[in-house]
Structure 1
């Protein structure tokens, strides 16, 4: 008797928040989570640079860093776009690892919500994986002024503005190019903070579906979360002072702003910006990309060495504490023994 054919896995829908680091992706992710999308099991906590939290799956972020380095790039490589595929056998091995990670983070959750900026420039890879897992996609792409992003990266990473606006351009070009056939919404970061309800309506219209659970209770939580203090850097008008890097960023930013206003901008401006970036990559990308890869690897090794030193320091402190405890015990025992000996001598001396 022949077996019945296996039933195909039921399709799910995942929300992807795409775009550059420091561009408002964390705020957008929190909004979607409050509206019913499912955060991963292991999220990156907040720190002094983002007190309200990053909401990134830190294990997937580490994986994405490794995958970028495997192709000779890094998250802060201005030439991380376009995507660099690996040989088929190697890519399949990476896809298997990513599949296991996705299951570990999201299991069978109905509305997976993934935010890791690195996934933007790796989106062809993640689209292949999620299609294999029968997961449909809805994308949200926050748009923040590249100089505001540059200001944040200068404080956090010490990047010069030319580098930051180029990396921002690469990420936004990738976000646009790799989502053209998907339900997607470009959302102005300032507009989100000013009137998030209007932006949610735009997202739902672009996706052709409501958010999973935008209740009145969820809306109150969003009101409490999207506060003016999230706008750390004012927009600036100085892109023209950054030479050809600023020209590329200005063209990309102009298109993205128009898209966030539903103006249907002409894509030729993006094509020209992408061509200009490709021309610069042809000129000196072979110097920049390996350097960013090697520096990223050095950062990881330094972080791991610091972690080992911290563990060793804690171990040393514990050993010293244990030694002090043993010494105290020994001194107490020695004192007791001296008392016993004195009492014994006194007893023996008594006729």
Structure 2
């Protein structure tokens, strides 16, 4: 009897992890079993955990124990068993997985390019997370760039949508964009897009240790330390795009910038400060509003049509990854971790927000490459 190993997180204390090895149940008609070969672990996934209850991220891959959750991750898997006539053994898939060695899907709404997981417990969850892309017909897929796709694809799509949302709203009447956690992948993806906008100044906010890295990217017009906000005039018409989730920083920005036109909350890379006083206290200026990418996808798909939406996204993705993986000065390099213990160690490192921002973590709970 086969088993599935999963890395689970205590919901009430995100630093606590455990490895659970459970016996696989037989497939039902219409289901497929996949081997999860590799997935990225980034601060985006820590955000999923931090907002796991509030935004239902824990509901995608229930563990059967309410105290423990499985953080969703993005990566690649291969079909190893199929009781669905439309999905063949050996097919390669990109999508949203548990941190585990395998998973069971119930494919529905099949097309040559993708299908959805029709599992009952996912029916009310955002459809964008239930889509599985069939790599042999996926316009973003190349076999030699799986690490880049796992690390950057879901983040960049969010970045692209944030930029589009800002432009869609004429940048709320501001021309200066303040981006916190500027060294994070979603932030610099957003900066890459915003930097192409005529008349928009992109200001990266980061820790002293990451100023040099952020400046080297070339997609910020200015990079400021978090303690150097006074280098910008207080009446600057600006928008705050908050990737950090640092409540004290958010409060400081709202208090200082009398010209703040919009405050956009994206995620929480500073998990320990999510519940700080600045996250809950009444803020000066505009209300901090959570950005929800699926809503902008729905809006633009309705306006542009699915084909045009895809065309624009693919073009932006190709331009971004060409720069991010440029051999002469790459923004990102993949570091691989195999096996349960290595995955736990990598998780602790990402949770702590430590390490070189140029390093992207690719994990597999299989002890050896290829799942052997």
State whether TM-score is above 0.5: no
| Structure-2-length-normalised TM-score | 0.27
Relative contact order: is structure 1 or structure 2 higher (C-alpha 8 Å, sep ≥ 6)?
1
Larger radius of gyration: 1
More helix by share: 1
More strand by share: 2
